[in-house]
Amino acid sequence: MSNQMKKEMKQLIILLSLSLTLNVSAKYVNGTVYDDVGQVLPGVNVVIKGTTSGVTTDINGFYSVEVPNEKAVLVFSFIGYQTQEIEVGKRKIIDVTLSSEMDELQEIVVVGYPAKTEKRSLSYSVSDQLRGRAAGVSIMPYEQEYHNTEEYATIHENGFRKVLDHALSTFSIDVDAASYSNVRRFINNGQLPQKDAVRIEEMINYFNYEYANPTGKDPFSINTEVAKAPWNDKHLIAHIGLQGKKIELENLPASNIVFLLDVSGSMNAPNKLPLLKSAFKLLVNELRPQDKVSIVVYAGAAGVVLEPTDGNDKKKIMDALDQLQAGGSTAGGAGINLAYKIAKEQFVRGGNNRVVLATDGDFNVGASSNASMERLIEEKRKEGVFLTVLGFGMGNYKDSKMEILADKGNGNYAYIDNMKEAKKVLVNEFGGTMYTIAKDVKIQVEFNPAVVQAYRLIGYENRMLNDEDFNDDKKDAGELGSGHTVTALYEIIPVGVESEFVKNIDPLKYQSNNSQVTSETDELLTVKFRYKEPGGNKSKLITQVVENEIVDSSNNLGWSMAVAGFGMLLRDSEYKGDLTFADVLEMSRSSKGADAFGYRSEFIELVDLARSMSPQ
């Protein structure tokens, strides 16, 4: 080897050593940028002050940038928002809220240390990384090849049933609202949701309605209306609404709450564990001195990270949340067993005993199939502990599992896609989410065959019950929380209306066809309700008649029909008639009513976005 070649080889070794040294000492800072209402901000410029090196946030508002030292200052800028400058210091995770030009600046910092990145098959090469660093841009591990493994239970849309063959319709109430916020996530990310992600009853029940408050001994009022169907003027819509009694926070019983948090490797994403921790801090701020909180986490195994702690020791609870890191497999079954064990040990007689599960639903160790999870949670609900399920994330989201857990575990289910939704569920609707006022609430409707030819329940496909289940107190049904509203819509084909949806069958051979109508009243239908008190085992019955009277629809009925119509369009329902997104926009704008938190205005924007993406 020549002297010249030896010299060049020596220089190359020195350069490689220097490169390795720099790589080892490199410091990365990452986080998520939000706007001042909690929505993530894509496209924000994150630049190291005094340099041209930086990155922009991705579609989830996430960034990751290499900084030279702890004295580096990150500059966050976005058109229409006030620029922020933040010194890095010793932090590795910096989440930021950018205020609009008219608002004051505010920084949200989540302190913690990310888990080591697991080895994965990434969609970029070593040369890609070198080119990115040369340009001052960080190539981030989340840019791996994307595989969508989200799971949704199949929904077979309810069809019309002839009253002469099926006079009764029986179902469990559903106060879950996860489908709506999940649908919103799809649309805000630029795509229409898959059909089975659209559960129309959950979309309707995402919104509160202006129903009369209960005045009697029962914990809810019953509100009914009848109007013409907006997608078929020969059909009617019967609107049934329940208003749960609102109990003021200071009058609620003491709580024994176990946070059951998924910290497995699948939660290692900015819209999962970091969002989860920020969301649960909102819940912690709602706790009172008489409340107790425990924290159980699970990954490859389950463990307790916070023993039962008084609700006024908020710093201790939040410190425990801050220390959480994501990594490992997902032993959801072990976590559920441990959480219920602690809830039972701390059981408050006459109080609110609840497990709050937060996860993406991607269980893969121990009990993990939908059937095994269902059996596990059915066994646990016998212990008198209620359940709240909060879903996070996207890509591997297991909606079907979480819906089963909530349905079978005396619970409710919400999907948290941003801090605004976290505030809605855990602050604005704290009582409804956390405190049950009636359990096993069932509805049975009897239709008058003299007036109604056929009917169909809009939504609630996964909540249908056999008619005999209505009087069976052993049969599980839905729970109603403090201040919650529940709304159900029936589409009705009146007697004498010709319809393609009413199918005839051959005459029966061994019994006469039930073609005789004996009703002497013009009533449209009778609604019956059964419910149990939270700690009770025997149901109570309420009955209410709905007259065959069509009136101008209220904002309650107009809004619920608009939301139902939107769901039918997203599902491309065979019953949508000639309904269009423009019709839904007109209905929702004319029936918006009071909108204190802006949820209805957001819905109108969502419909407009969906219209622009639809081929209709």
Q: What percent of the chain has pLDDT over 90?
A: 58
d(CA 48, CA 399): 40
- Residue 300, C-beta contacts closer than 8 angstroms, at least 6 positions apart: 264, 328, 329, 330, 331, 365
Per the rule left: phi > 0, alpha: psi between -120 and 50, beta: everything else, 247 is beta
Identify the pLDDT of residue 28: 84
Binning the chain into helix, strand and coil, the percentages to the nearest 5 are 30, 25, 45
DSSP 27-38: EEEEEEEEETTS
Strand arrangement, sheet containing 27-35: 62-67, 27-35, 96-98
CATH number of 161-247+437-503+517-550: 2.60.40.1230
- Residue 535, C-beta contacts closer than 8 angstroms, at least 6 positions apart: 350, 384
Beta-carbon neighbour count of residue 464 at 10 Å?
A: 13
Identify the pLDDT of residue 369: 66
Report, as an integer, the average pLDDT of 193-205: 97
Identify the pLDDT of residue 109: 33
Name the architecture of domain 252-424.
Answer: 3-Layer(aba) Sandwich (3.40)
Render pLDDT for 27-78 as a digit per residue (tens, 0 to 9): 788 889 988 777 888 778 888 888 767 787 877 788 888 888 889 999 988 7
Q: What percent of the chain has pLDDT over 70?
A: 85
Q: How far is CA 210 from the centre of its chain?
A: 23
Going from the C-alpha of 359 to that of each of 55, 326, 356, 412, 415, the distances in angstroms are 29, 12, 10, 14, 10
d(CA 337, CA 302): 9
Identify the pLDDT of residue 602: 95
Confidence band for 159, pLDDT divided at 50, 70 and 90? very high
Q: Which of 67, 58, 62 has its CA nearest to residue 86? A: 67
Q: For residue 149, what are its two tokens?
A: 């493994």
- Sequence ranges of the domains in the chain: 25-114, 161-247+437-503+517-550, 252-424
Q: Please determine, for residue 306, whether its predicted confidence score (pLDDT) is greater than 90.
A: yes
Report, as an integer, the average pLDDT of 116-137: 31
Q: For residue 6, what are its two tokens?
A: 């030896």
d(CA 532, CA 381): 15
Q: How far is CA 27 from the centre of its chain?
A: 35
Confidence band for 139, pLDDT divided at 50, 70 and 90? very low
For residue 100, the cross-strand partners are: 81
CATH 2.40.160.60 fits 25-114, yes or no: no
Render pLDDT for 314-335 as a digit per residue (tens, 0 to 9): 999 999 999 999 887 777 788 8
Render pLDDT for 356-387 as a digit per residue (tens, 0 to 9): 999 998 876 455 566 777 788 888 888 889 99
Mean model confidence pLDDT for the chain: 84
Identify the pLDDT of residue 47: 87
The helix (H) or strand (E) run that includes residue 562 is: helix 555-570
Domains 25-114 and 252-424 belong to one CATH topology? no
Identify the pLDDT of residue 510: 86
Q: Which residues of 554-563 are buried (b: 16+ CB within 10 A; e: fewer)?
A: bebbbbbbbb
State the distance between the two ends of the chain, measured CA to CA, in whole angstroms: 73
Q: Which of 14, 167, 38, 183 has its CA nearest to residue 99? A: 38
Q: Which of the residue ranges 450-459, 513-522, 530-539 would you say has the lowest mean pLDDT? A: 513-522
